[in-house]
Chain A
């Protein structure tokens, strides 16, 4: 440890003795690190958006269903507990937001067309917090309460049904006895959504209106809870588990939408692989630089050994030199990454490939997401693997025999 300042000073001086080589290597490291962070931020932005949209399209971070409901989403498989009892059970708890709702497949028909949709019977007041729709941006109006007699549908769906606000549509589903339950509704509002499938596939009616239409008393098909954010739902999950009837099925969003859940994992793996690959491409240059740096001062290494420096000090000196080189590159690379991502935080317009992004479930504006954890990961990977890569040249440098090194010709 005593040697650290000496070795660091030597390493730093040697680094700049051949400044051209160092500058080239620093540029390479900076570009590599920049690309690691930049690319990760873009991919994260895209995947996060897909997941967030996906999560908000099936609102509720933690969901409770009848165990049979997810495989057979019929009103037959509803939750046997009525709203009155639920309110009593949850009145003393402190969930950020919760709501019970009727969600069943249905058919909507205008005078011209019919389409399959998901019927959502909701209490608009209880669900405002869930934020999947901005009630105020609805053309016309959104539902006012659970007894609302109107229906709110997506604009795209309205186009396909050739209908508009103020017109009537018929909603058909089944009641628990498999009788067709149908009812006419007046369209009171049209909503827009980022994700077209959400706009086309969901229609909203009042919860009690839905219960009446489907003849299910005050029962519902799902109870949903909001966590603090979609990545951090375990506390909410545990609380729901503790406070709900054990015969019901409690699931995290990542279990309901397994595809989205696995996307998160795959993404983490991809980020790691990408960073390691970029580093490997860099590592050849790094090792090369160190080999050259050692080669051109074999004599001086011999001299230091002759003067009484231990081989381990030589090893340390080369490794410190490598670390300094990497650090300079890292600092520049990180700054570069922040400097290029920051101006893009308002989003990158990628509407040229909008439909392709839609196919992947993403919207047409890409917001890069720069996570501190990703930045740290990139830096740690570079430093750690860089350390490993420098071991071999450093080891060789420390193995020189002082006399041979000093008398080396060349």
Chain B
């Protein structure tokens, strides 16, 4: 250590309590920032994942306008062969075709309106979590059997079990009356009441028969191994679509526009709080460094009368602050890493939050996202603001005149 650095280091420890309190403010904020940012991004990941994996997938091929209107007529023609061709061309992606219609489902005792998905039984499990959530019976097997799987709440409301028959009444693609009878072969339970109450799935070929789809469907769902991979491959798949039918490709953000915005809204309120924390730490540092400059006025006066320039003293103050900030950074980051790695391994559950969590498609336990970025960004910003806070005290040194400075005390 050169003499200036040694001087700065010694000065820092003239008031141990003050230095530790200032460092304490940094460590508190840094730990908290790391904790919150990791939790936040862990939560966003889960929100995206959970929302997309239920039905939406990472992207979908649809007829233009279908995304907003969901009309029966807005179809993708020859959807099963199309899905098959895409599967062959993009073997790494999970691809499945679907149709969707609305119908009144009646059992012996009850009638309820439900959304009915026509799905490819062999590929649907790859793009949706629903087939994996069968609680009773089995999932669909053949693509043309008159079978149906329904949600647990719906089954309870309709008072049907495995093997019972449901009558479906709705309108077909051309608006004509559509009716069919299907046997309940499976009951799924996702735990999200809305999902369990309002959906049913049947094999796509049977679906096309019932609703006069003539081979068409409404969406080709595509799931990539990761979100990043999805973004990368989207243009390729888009280019592989038949050019004459005007089909459109939507990414997950277009399909679930609420998701990104909900995240954005949440982020802006979170960052408001982070901002306040950082500002408060900066005040703390400003206070400490200004005190430390003012109480050394006499001393600085002597050194300046010996020929040191205010700029050199200013650098000394900045160096002290940087050391202070560095201690805060390191200790805070360590604290943050400990907390975060605990929660990214064990998860955090907030009592009373389960219901809220379910509403946002979150599991009751949140696992933190521990990446270098989520761990470093908070402490880094605090460090920068720490340095900024020392600028004013450092600049004050320029106002110091040796004689006046020495007269103090």
| A295 interface residue (CB < 8 Å to B) | yes
Shortest Cβ gap from A245 to chain B (Å)? 25
Q: Is there an interface contact between A288 and B288, defined as CB atoms closer than 8 Å?
A: yes
Q: Does A43 contact B (CB under 8 A)?
A: yes
User: Which residues on A sit within 8 Å (CB–CB) of B50?
Assistant: none
Question: What is B's interface to A at a CB cutoff of 8 Å?
Answer: 15, 17-18, 21-22, 24-25, 28-29, 32, 69-73, 102-104, 106-115, 156-157, 169-171, 175, 198, 257-265, 268-269, 272-273, 276-277, 279-281, 283-284, 286-288, 290-291, 294-295, 352-353, 355-356, 359-360
Q: Is the CB of B276 within 8 A of A278?
A: yes
A408 located at the interface, meaning its Cβ lies under 8 Å from any Cβ of chain B in the complex: no
Verify if A289 is at the interface (C-beta below 8 Å from B). Answer: yes
Instruction: Please tell me if A336 contacts chain B, counting CB pairs below 8 Å.
Output: no
Residue of A nearest to B393 (CB): A20
Nearest opposing residue in chain B for A161, CB measure = B71
- Report the Cα distance A28→B290, complex, angstroms: 14
The prevalent SS among residues of A at the interface is helix
Say which residue of A174, A284, A360 sits within 8 Å of B106 (CB atoms): A174
| A–B pairs, 6, beta carbons within 8 Å | A28-B280, A277-B273, A281-B29, A353-B261, A357-B262, A359-B259
Asked if residues A278 and B280 are in contact (CB atoms below 8 Å), the reply is yes
* A25, A180, A269, A360 interface centre (most CB from chain B within 10 Å): A360
- Pairwise interchain contact B261-A356, C-beta atoms closer than 8 A: yes
The answer to whether A31 touches B157, judged by C-beta atoms less than 8 angstroms apart, is: no
Q: Could you say which of A71, A105, A266 contacts B352, with CB atoms under 8 Å apart?
A: A266
- Judge whether B287 and A289 touch: CB under 8 Å: yes
Q: Are B284 and A262 in contact (CB under 8 A)?
A: no
Q: Is the CB of A106 within 8 A of B113?
A: yes
Q: Are A42 and B280 in contact (CB under 8 A)?
A: no
Q: Is the CB of A281 within 8 A of B70?
A: no
Q: Are B355 and A24 in contact (CB under 8 A)?
A: no
Chain A residues 142-178 with CB under 8 Å of chain B are 159-160, 162, 172-174, 178
Is the Cβ of A359 less than 8 Å from the Cβ of B262? Answer: yes
Q: Does A59 contact B (CB under 8 A)?
A: no
Looking across the interface, which residue of chain A has its beta carbon closest to that of B176? A111
CB distance from B327 to the nearest CB of A (A): 14
Q: How far is the CA of A31 from the CA of B356 in the complex (A)?
A: 30
Measured in the bound complex, the distance between the Cα atoms of B269 and A39 in whole Å is 8
Number of inter-chain CB pairs below 8 Å: 196
B286 touches A24 (CB 8 A): yes
Could you tell me if B265 and A112 are in contact, using CB atoms closer than 8 angstroms?
no
Cβ-defined contact, A116 with B262, below 8 A:
no
Of the candidates B69, B157, B265, B360, the one having the most CB atoms from chain A within 10 angstroms of its own CB is B265
Mask of A6-19 contacts with B, CB within 8 angstroms, 1/0: 00000000000010
Q: A residues 241-265 with Cβ under 8 Å of B?
A: 258-259, 262-263, 265
A209 at the B interface (CB under 8 A): no
| Alpha-carbon distance between A386 and B394 when the two chains are bound, in angstroms | 30
A357–B109 CB distance below 8 A: no
Most buried by A among B260, B262, B272: B262
How would residues 35 to 78 of chain A score, 1 for a CB under 8 Å from any chain B CB and 0 otherwise? Answer: 10001001100000000000000000000000000011110100
In angstroms, Cα B21 to Cα A353, docked, is 40
Determine the distance from Cα of A393 to Cα of B107 in the docked complex, in whole angstroms.
75
* A399 at the binding interface (Cβ < 8 Å): no
Q: How many angstroms from the CA of A263 to the CA of B25 in the assembled complex?
A: 32
Taken together as a complex, chains A and B put the C-alpha atoms of A164 and B360 apart, in Å, by: 34
- Nearest B residue (CB) for A22: B287
Does B276 contact A35, Cβ atoms closer than 8 Å? yes
Q: Are B71 and A160 in contact (CB under 8 A)?
A: yes
User: Which residues from chain A contact B17 at a C-beta distance below 8 Å?
Assistant: 291
CB distance from A264 to the nearest CB of B (A): 11
Contact in complex: B265, A274 (CB < 8 Å): no
CB <8 Å contact, B156 and A72: yes
By a CB distance below 8 angstroms, the chain A residues around B288 are: 288
A60 to B290, CA, bound (A): 60
> Contact between A281 and B104 (Cβ–Cβ < 8 Å)?
no
Cβ-based interface call for A292 (8 A): yes
Interchain CB contact (< 8 A) of A114 among B171, B198, B265, B286: B171
Partner pick for A360 among B70, B111, B262, CB 8 A cutoff:
B262
